[in-house]
Structure 1
Amino acid sequence: MAASWIEIGLLSDIPPQGARVVRTPRGCIAVFRTAGDRVFALNDRCPHKGGPLSEGIVHGEAVTCPLHNWVFDMNSGQAQGADEGAVATFPARVEGGRVFLDLSSRGRNGG
């Protein structure tokens, strides 16, 4: 299936090292902004206990779940360290200060 990019807002709407939640027909997706203005989109639900990843701590290109401190690589969605599991990721990009998501695929890691 070809990419189907949708605009979700401005990069400036997402605080540096923070997130915003986008509600989609596929569920809630957390869109993260790193300190270096990279954007990542992950399913907002931690596979461990269902914690809202959008409320987690962003550090580098990882996010820590606010409930039990599981750390996820935002590039791959994989849990880091001794934790097992993954969260679905979706392609995200910034063009002209606007953030776009591609929801046309299931998302990597089974979103």
Structure 2
Amino acid sequence: MTTHSPNARALAALGHDTRLSIFRLLVRAGDAGLRVSDIGEHLGMAPSTLAHHLSTLVGAGLVIQDKQGREVFNRVDFPAMNDLLGFLTSECCTGVTVRAAQGTA
């Protein structure tokens, strides 16, 4: 499946339980973010598995990585997260016309 929309890529990335757990942890960490090793420690995840999932979140535009010396810090791109939430809620409660099913008794 190829997704071109940034929102579709973000939703696809968050559709995996492990990536959702990583993202939620980073949301809780706030702007300071967390080192890769800290994320692995919190979630009990092997570094190679974690690197794969972080790469997907970065590629989806949800996580920003900053290298500080020899450490890589990961933090949520909060404007991107808010854009995604706005996309999901932009038409909330605007009404949907429901047609009566034909042929029902």
* TM bin (shorter chain): under 0.3
- Structure of greater Rg: 2
